[in-house]
Homo-oligomer: A and B are copies of this chain.
Amino acid sequence: MNLGATQTIAEPAVSGERMHQFIAELYPICRSITGDGVRTTLRRIQKEIPIVVKEIPSGTPVFDWIVPREWNIRDAYIKDSRGERIVDFQKSNLHVLNYSMPFRGKMRLRDLRPHLFTLPDRPDWIPYRTSYYRENWGFCLSQRQLDRMTDEEYDVCIDSTLEDGCLTYGELFLPGESLDEVLFSSHVCHPSLCNDNLSGVVTMAFLAQHIQSKTRRYSYRFLFIPGTIGAITWLAKNEASTRRIRHGLVLAGVGDRCPLAYKKSRRGDTEIDHAVAHVLHHSGREFRVTDFSPYGYDERQFCSPGFNLAVGRLSRSPHGEFPEYHTSGDNLEFVTPASLAETLSICLKIVELLERNLTYVGTNPKCEPQLGKRGLYSAIGGLVDAGQKELAMLWTLNMSDGQHSLLNIAERSGLAFETIHQVAHLLVDHGLLQEAGAASHVNSN
């Protein structure tokens, strides 16, 4: 099937459960911005789609940054005086301050205390904390665990390594008829957190799977990258090819029960901004559209002033504003098959819209063409209702002057893009429209 064709991509209703299962498989892996966690995750994704795994050596300068050392961890615990693991990395990888230096020793509680992070307001949840760019070690634990720590001394172990190695990311490029690209990007660096961002990773994998089986106008690039440093590394290593990115979308936090939320690109008025808003508006579901801000996920890098790409972000719960954010509460129950399926469906509709959003010129720009003689218009005149389809034809003919894309026409008419697209095909079939670029000698007054 051709993405630009008139048939609609089937609703991926059954995908929700499969997406959730995929999240469940990836959930236990201890990921970080570097190390084997990401490698294991990417290998698992490779079973679904043929991503290429790239390794960038530690120490590589990438703009203002340097690719950091590689972090790997095998075990970590705090043992009490009875030798029992009261905080255990094997039970949850969130227990370790991500990127902790190796450490081993006996410590008095008061010395250990500055290395312990809890959430007093959510006493059952483990926070997720990191220390990427300052050497440190620590444990994240529930407030209840901390409250039970009454011994004077503890046996502490973090069996990690922080050594020269690589930053690892996955990339899938699906060439299309044009070298112009649509970019999708998800951060893949968070450990056992489901919504943030296994939801984005898995949605993108399923999305890529759908797209790769279709012929397509655009080329598509999917980045499974560590947040911030991964995006910066990719941009530094692929600066020239960013010029081909026409539209882009960061997927992050797209599995929870909140309505979908689109955050506009820095430019704020690009085709992707209009496309996502249109698809959400016509989805019949609640949604939010917010302006760009330079805080959030990797749209920060794609929309830095030196790139200023047409990249927005699709999410659900507002970034950082829900209690489960960066805690063990962001678990398998926090993301739902229905939300995942809906996100995938919306992404497919966005892709469909971008693929189909061509600009046409009418072959009869002067006065309306006679639709009736082509069987395109009701034979009996004088009726009250011209019908949505006839109205869509009139809008498409009237606005197709080479200056308005089908999405522009949909927006101005208030009709669904799909309706406009369908009648545009019909009008092309009847020789009444042709693609704007293809029209060599359009007669315009």
Q: Which A positions have Cβ atoms within 8 angstroms of B?
A: 62-65, 98, 117, 127-134, 136, 228, 231-232, 235-236, 239, 242, 266, 293-295, 300-301, 303-308, 320-321, 325-326, 362, 364-370, 372-373, 379-386, 391, 394-395, 397-401, 413, 443-445
Contacts and interface: CB of A to CB of B under 8 A. Distances in A.
B370 A294 contact: no
Closest 8 A/B residue pairs (Cβ): A306-B365, A306-B366, A294-B398, A130-B381, A305-B401, A294-B394, A133-B372, A64-B369
Contacts of A381: 98, 129-132
Contacts of A231: 367
Given A381-B129, A381-B130, A308 B445 contact: yes
B133 A305 contact: no
Contact of A304 (B293, B365, B383): B365
Contacts of A325: 384
A64 B370 contact: yes
Given A65-B370, A325-B384, 19 more contacts: A63-B369, A64-B367, A64-B369, A128-B382, A131-B380, A131-B381, A133-B370, A136-B380, A231-B367, A235-B367, A242-B445, A294-B394, A294-B399, A301-B367, A304-B366, A304-B367, A305-B365, A305-B400, A320-B384
Could you say how many copies of this chain the assembly holds?
Answer: 3
Nearest to A323: B384
Contact of A384 (B236, B326, B366, B373): B326
Contacts of A413: 293
Contacts of A443: 306
Which secondary structure dominates chain A's binding surface? loop
For A133, A303, A362, A444, the residue with the greatest tally of chain B CB atoms inside 10 Å of its CB is A133
A385 B397 CA distance: 51
B127 A382 contact: yes
B379 A303 contact: no
A278 to B, nearest CB: 18
A136 B395 CA distance: 29
A274 to B, nearest CB: 18
Contacts of A136: 379-380
Given A367-B63, A391-B295, A385 B304 contact: no
Contacts of A129: 380-383
Nearest to A325: B384
Given A305-B399, A398-B304, A445-B307, A367 B326 contact: no
A236 B235 CA distance: 56
B366 A307 contact: yes
B295 A394 contact: yes
A304 B368 contact: yes
B64 A307 contact: no
A412 B134 CA distance: 32
Given A372-B134, A379-B136, A294 B367 contact: no
A134 B130 CA distance: 75
A170 to B, nearest CB: 20
Contacts of A368: 64, 228, 232, 294, 300-301, 304
A291 to B, nearest CB: 8
A73 to B, nearest CB: 16
Nearest to A375: B134
Contacts of A133: 370, 372-373, 379
9 contacts: A98-B381, A129-B382, A133-B372, A235-B366, A294-B391, A300-B368, A300-B394, A304-B367, A326-B382
A262 to B, nearest CB: 18
A236 B367 contact: yes
Given A231-B367, A365-B306, A368-B304, A382 B130 contact: yes
Contacts of A266: 398
A323 to B, nearest CB: 9
Nearest to A384: B320
